[in-house]
Copies of this chain bind each other. A is one copy, B any other.
Amino acid sequence: MSTKIRKWLNQHKDEATDFLQKLVQEGSEQGNEFGVQQLVKKQLERLGLDVDYWIPDGDELINHRYFCATRTDFSKSPNVVGTWKGDGGGKSLVLNGHIDVVPPGDLKQWEHPPYSGYIEDGKMFGRGVTDMKGGNLALLLAIQCLKELNVSLKGDVLFHSVIEEESGGAGTLAAVLRGHTADAALVPEPTNMKIFPKQQGSIWFRLTVNGMSAHGGTRYEGVSAIEKSVHVIQAIQKLEYERNNRVEDPLYQNTPIPLPINIGKIEGGNWPSSVPDEVFIEGRIGVGPNESLESVKEEFEYAMCKIEDNWLQQHPVQVEWFGAQWLPGSIDLEHELMGILQKKYEEVVGEPAVIEASPWGTDGGLLTQVGNTPSIVFGPGVTAYAHYPNEYIELEKVFQAAEIFSLIIYEWCEGEGL
């Protein structure tokens, strides 16, 4: 069986590489996903899947408690789901990949244009190639391989090509609410081929620290919001320390800070010789796989209102939760899909898989918590370059992942014909 799959994959590497390059060249930043979704739709139709192609309805989604987006108009941002209907009696599987990419940032830092899909030494370069069009391609290739090898399945396979993962997950939320769920899911985000049964969620916060203005020469007449921000930053560091002290999950044993609180941005004051009366701090707090967003928000807000400083007691830090959020996700380590994935990984790669908990959120959280579809995050791609210039993927890893996915689908959905 695996010989046939590998042989087929070897024969289709060039074709697949071309297709991945086309996906990358359709730079699909937020609001610009239309072109790439047409390619995906056409490919799913070519493979003979039932294609559901629709515009997520922002006005409807906005009422959902886990809707989190910077927009409600998705008119140029369709979702695509292709279903390979099984013959019945088998377990179903969602294969979920987001098609949106983050902006390329400073173009000068790119050695090749970000949407070139330039290939060198077995690596393809481009924004989104590792996060996560390489993973999507591996999924599509697995489906195509089994289809062309005339495999029949008992269970259904649902391929999600969703928008908006980078901005809060509205694409997967829409797919799940539309009923595209299954018994389990694979999400091939770039884990560098590690298996992440648990995914950290995260929420963004914005803090406002107030002071009182005065002339810099008589600064003792005012209260510096920048000096007060030092207390706030230290309180955040303390909270991070306390939260991480509680983490006992062995999956985090090699992670220096399992649940980081990152302060990403600070801005305050407007004149060198005036006492600053306002500072804004933005950051993200990691949400443990078994925590709820709500409990983390509460703990954070409590820490902010307990800062030991007279001024801050009387002028409490204001906390807003804004921008993106990612639900955490977790699948039982003994879940059958975990066993299959580990077994197939070892078969294909020749060594045991590394199992860890992810340091960031994925759409796996929404699939699990809203779609009741336990999810595993596992995919090819170099994590460290995901949001940075010169993002790339090793093509050989994409084909390896495709082989593993083919074998998993065949076993989980009870394939026949090989």
Contact = CB atoms under 8 A, between A and B. Distances in A.
A217 B200 contact: yes
Nearest to A213: B388
A264 B269 contact: yes
A122 interface: no
B260 A264 contact: no
Interface in A252-292: 256-257, 260, 262-276, 279, 282-284, 286
A9 to B, nearest CB: 31
7 A-B pairs closest in CB distance: A216-B262, A217-B360, A217-B359, A265-B269, A273-B284, A220-B256, A264-B272
A387 interface: yes
Contacts of A233: 226-227, 230
A214 to B, nearest CB: 8
Contact of A387 (B256, B268, B274): B274
A220 B218 CA distance: 39
A204 interface: yes
Interface string A89-129: 00000000000000000000000000000000000000000
11 contacts: A205-B272, A215-B359, A215-B360, A215-B383, A218-B260, A219-B257, A226-B233, A263-B276, A266-B266, A266-B268, A272-B323
Nearest to A279: B266
A384 interface: yes
Nearest to A283: B272
Question: For the complex formed by this chain, how many copies does it contain in all?
Answer: 2
A219 B276 contact: no
Contacts of A216: 202, 260, 262, 264, 283-284, 360
A201 to B, nearest CB: 10
A40 interface: no
Nearest to A268: B266
Contacts of A204: 272-273
Contacts of A226: 233, 263, 266
A216 B203 CA distance: 11
A271 B279 contact: no
B386 A215 contact: yes
B276 A227 contact: no
Interface string A350-394: 000000001111000000000000000000000110111000000
A230 B236 CA distance: 13
Most chain B CB neighbours (cut-off 10 Å) among A217, A263, A283, A359: A217
Interface in A208-244: 213-221, 224, 226-227, 229-230, 233-234, 237
Nearest to A199: B217
Nearest to A322: B272
Nearest to A229: B266
Contact of A263 (B206, B265, B266, B269): B269
Contacts of A387: 215, 274
Contacts of A286: 217
A160 to B, nearest CB: 22
A270 B265 contact: yes
Contacts of A359: 215, 217-218
